[in-house]
Amino acid sequence: MSGPLLEISRSAFRHNVTAVRRRLAPSELLLVMKDDAYGLGIDWAVAEASAVGVHWFGGYDIPTALRIRTLTDRRVYAWATSPRTEIAQAIAADVDLGVGSAAYLDDVIAEAEAAGARVRVHLKIDTGLHRNGFRPEQWHDAVCTARAAERRGSISISGVWSHLSEASDADDDASQRVFLDAVEQLVAAGGEPEVLHLTASAAAWWRPELRGSLSRVGAFCYGIRSADGPPLDSLRLIARLSAPVEEVAADAVRVGIGAFHGLPSILRGAEVATPGGSRRIIDIGGDALTVEPWEGASAGQRVVLFGPGTQGEPDATALAERVDTVGEEIITRLTPAVRRLVVD
Ligand SMILES: *Cc1c(COP(=O)(O)O)cnc(C)c1O
């Protein structure tokens, strides 16, 4: 095998998803698959997740949700505020929609009525992140509008949700109070949401008291731990990035992967796994990098840049921490010049 290669393990993914589901129970897992499943590929992952019992999938935007829908009959959720043509496609494909503004709620109701459909809607309360979502002072009106549409049969208010900042436990606790208050208001107005969802990977894993009946988890299912977060003993990264030795000199070994493949050039100094043990990256160029030499280095050997750790390599998050980003960023940045291979 020549050239850089990202090997993605189906069995490691099944293992992680199963471990996440077990830890979260009775909260159900909604598997987040934005950015083409964090750069690892939606197409194979939906089947694997279905096989181990995942019932909810999340695509962020409607085009991603529609792609997931071609692969499964289970619940598919899209929460990006989207244009009317996409809303109509989502309705036709029976996708659940996350709604966090009055204008978008109006659009969804109008498209539902045009289609004569009953659309499952999850209302988003803004619990402090100020990204999207009804502000607490807008919630009453949102509930009135949504309940009226629900009585007319054009929507079902299937869920209430929000997104935590995960900046501190105190912030997240305060967000949960705002969230539960919004749920209470909806219930008082006659709403009967099927699911409540507030947490993503880190809060769902570490703060059981914040979990609703559904947890939206992406990163941890792919084995991507939080930057500067504690290790996740039972989960491992499902991908391994390797590249071939191209040339050996006395003071440096040239390896065929570089910035053109999506490696941040400021990874200089990071340790990678070579057949002779851990060695530092000396420099990163466009299509190759140089690594400290090892005994017996020869062209064709492979160097592992990140992976599950079984060969002493760092995980993607360890590299991310060096450049002050998150693990998923290291993976999603890899360009199509890196070959992907899904293995068992
Ligand atoms: C990306 C995302 C998630 C998943 O976050 P992870 O930390 O990867 O688990 C959950 N909810 C929303 C709204 C998201 O955008």
pLDDT in tens, 259-293: 999 999 989 999 999 999 999 999 999 999 999 99
Residues with CB under 6 A from ligand 1: 32, 34, 79, 163, 200-201, 216-219
Q: Which atom of ligand 1 is nearest to the CA of 163?
A: 13
Instruction: Judge whether residue 1 has pLDDT over 80.
Output: no
Q: What does pTM read for this prediction?
A: 0.97
Please report, for the chain, the start and end positions of each structural domain, with discontinuous segments joined by +: 10-222, 239-343
Tokens representing 149?
A: 């549409």
Probe residue for ligand 1, chosen from 16, 32, 77, 132 as the CB with the greatest number of ligand atoms within 8 Å: 32
Q: What pLDDT score was predicted for residue 230?
A: 86
Q: What pLDDT score was predicted for residue 229?
A: 86
Q: What pLDDT score was predicted for residue 34?
A: 96
Interval between CA 240 and ligand 1 midpoint (Å):
22
Probe residue for ligand 1, chosen from 216, 237, 330 as the CB with the greatest number of ligand atoms within 8 Å: 216
Interval between CA 16 and ligand 1 midpoint (Å):
16
Which superfamily does 10-222 belong to?
A: Alanine racemase (3.20.20.10)
Instruction: Judge whether residue 85 has pLDDT over 80.
Output: yes
Amino acid identity of residue 121, one-letter, is V
Q: Which atom of ligand 1 is nearest to the CA of 161?
A: 13
User: Contacts from 269-273 at CB under 8 Å and sequence distance 24+?
Assistant: 269/322, 270/314, 270/319, 270/322, 271/314, 272/303, 272/304, 272/305, 272/313, 272/314, 273/303, 273/304, 273/307, 273/311, 273/312, 273/313
Above pLDDT 70, what percent of the chain?
100
What CA–CA distance (Å, rounded) separates 97 from 82? Answer: 10
Q: Where are the alpha helices (DSSP H) in the chain?
A: 10-24, 34-39, 42-51, 62-69, 84-92, 102-115, 136-152, 169-188, 201-206, 316-322, 327-332
Q: Which atom of ligand 1 is nearest to the CA of 201?
A: 9
Q: What pLDDT score was predicted for residue 289?
A: 97
Q: What is the CA radius of gyration of the chain?
A: 23
Region 197-203 average pLDDT: 97
For domain 239-343, the CATH class is mainly beta
Above pLDDT 90, what percent of the chain?
95
**Residue written as token pair 């309705």:** 91
